[in-house]
Amino acid sequence: MAQTVVQVDAFTNQLFAGNPAAVCVMSQAADADWMQALAAEMNLSETAFLYPVEDGFHLRWFTPAAEVDLCGHATLASAHTLWSEGHLKPNQEARFHTRSGLLTATLSDDWITLNFPSNPVQPAELPPALQAGLRHLPVKFTGKDAKHYLVELESEAAVRELAPDFSLIASLPMQGVIITSQADGSEFDFVSRFFAPTIGINEDPVTGAAHCSLAPYWQEKLGKSAFLAYQASARGGVVKVRCDCDRVFLSGQAVTVMRGELVG
């Protein structure tokens, strides 16, 4: 039987915006090398692979270069695919068993809400390579977790206009760099961008997993727990964010762009 692959734009309600992901719903587990090869062939920031298990679906995420432990937009795209392709009814919760534990998704009024783990960062020194990679812009805060740096810049304009040196960022011993600032009087609470050249993604258009760190960071700074966020990449995307203890709820929309079948 031919294997169907669906391409979805996530964290947007418009075609050719948000963050594209490929989704492959399989009948059973597949070889990791095959999944990595398909992800490289799709050449999107993430390709999601899932198959049914007891109480939900097993889910893995691959960039063109590596498997990752958590991906928000490809999870949103996976949930969208399960409902739009008839694997689940719209009123059924999508349950994903992953390297990051059980993740769930619900659908309401065309908005998909993901239940993800919170991932606060701790204050850290700004490495010289990162400072240079960010063009020596003034920095208000630097933090990190096990895999990412989070850097707050002075303004939304600084975030939007930054042209980073990806070769320097790729030299860091971390998977990615989140940059952020409070929004400058717009409808949004904060803006961000995400760079991950070490795993084959110079700039990710909209990064759900980054908001697992951004949410607790801005909760502490702004003194509230619900936000409307914008990831200011060239494609752009809107994320509704809510903190609840050690969980972060990320809401976004998604649209199917294309559907194809693998041959061979």
Query: Which CATH superfamily is 3-107+250-262 part of?
Result: Diaminopimelate Epimerase; Chain A, domain 1 (3.10.310.10)
Q: In this predicted model, what pLDDT tens digit does every residue of 134-178 receive, in sequence order?
A: 999 999 999 999 999 999 999 999 999 999 999 999 999 999 999
Tokens for 114? 């993901």
Does 122-244 match 3-107+250-262 at the fold level? yes
Residues 95-116: tens digit of each pLDDT: 999 999 999 999 999 999 999 9
Instruction: Tell me which residue of 258, 214, 261, 221 sits closest to 240, measured CA to CA.
Output: 214
Q: Collect all residues with Cβ–Cβ distance below 8 Å to 235 and sequence separation of at least 6.
A: 12, 16, 17, 18, 19, 205, 206
Fold of domain 122-244: Diaminopimelate Epimerase; Chain A, domain 1 (3.10.310)
pLDDT score at 2: 74
Residues identified as active-site:
46
Distance between CA 26 and CA 17 in Å, rounded? 26
Domain ranges of the chain: 3-107+250-262, 122-244
Phi-psi sector, 39: left (phi>0), alpha (psi -120 to 50), beta = alpha
Average pLDDT over residues 194-209: 96
Give the DSSP H/E element, type plus range, for residue 96: strand 94-98
DSSP sequence for 20-46: EEEEEE-SS---HHHHHHHHHHHTSSE
